[in-house]
Amino acid sequence: MGSLQWGGRFASAPDAALLTFGSSLEADLALAPYDVRCSRGHVAALESGGIIGASQARALREALDHVADEIADGSFATWARAGNFEDVHGAIDARVRDYAGKAGELLHAGRSRNDQVATTLLLFAREAAAEGARHAIDVAALCEDRASDALAQQTLLAATTHWQPAQPVLLAFWLDALAQGFARAAARLAGVARDAARFCPLGSAALAGSSLPLDRVAAARELGFDAPSRNALDAVGDRDVALDLLHAITRAVLAASRASEELVLWTTPAFAYVRLDDAASTGSSLMPQKRNPDPFELVRAHGAKLIGAYAGALASVNGIALSYHRDLQETKAQVLAGVVDGLAALDAFRRALAHVHFRGDVMTARAGEGYTVATDLADAVILAGSTAREAHRAVGERVLRAEEERRPLGAEDAAALGVPQAPVDPLGSVLGKKTAGSTHPDAVAASIAATRDALAVLSESLP
Residues that are catalytic: 162, 284
Of 312, 256, 310, 266, the C-alpha closest to 291 is 266
Q: 65 - beta bridge partners?
A: none
Side chain identity, residue 381: V
The answer to whether 433 touches 443, Cβ cutoff 8 Å, is yes
SS (H, E, C) 314-357: HHHHCCCCCCCCCHHHHHHHHHHHHHHHHHHHHHHHHHHHCCEE
Determine phi and psi for 199, rounding to 5 degrees.
Answer: -120, 130
Q: What are phi and psi of 10, to 5 degrees?
A: -105, 140
DSSP symbol at 160: E
b/e per residue, 137-149, with b = 16+ CB within 10 A?
A: bbbbbbbbebbbe
φ/ψ of residue 458, rounded to 5: -65, -40
Farthest CA pair distance, the chain = 96
Q: Using DSSP, state whether 209 is helix, strand or coil.
A: coil
DSSP letters, 386-403, are: --HHHHHHHHHHHHHHHH
Do 217 and 223 touch, CB atoms closer than 8 A? no
Strands 227-228 and 199-200, by their bridges, are parallel
C-alpha–C-alpha distance, residues 415 and 436, integer Å = 29
Q: Are 196 and 105 in contact (CB under 8 A)?
A: no
Long-range pairs, 428-433, Cβ under 8 A, ≥24:
428/373, 428/376, 429/167, 429/168, 429/372, 429/373, 429/375, 429/376, 430/156, 430/168, 430/169, 430/170, 432/376
Task: Output phi, psi for 275, to 5 deg.
Answer: -120, 130
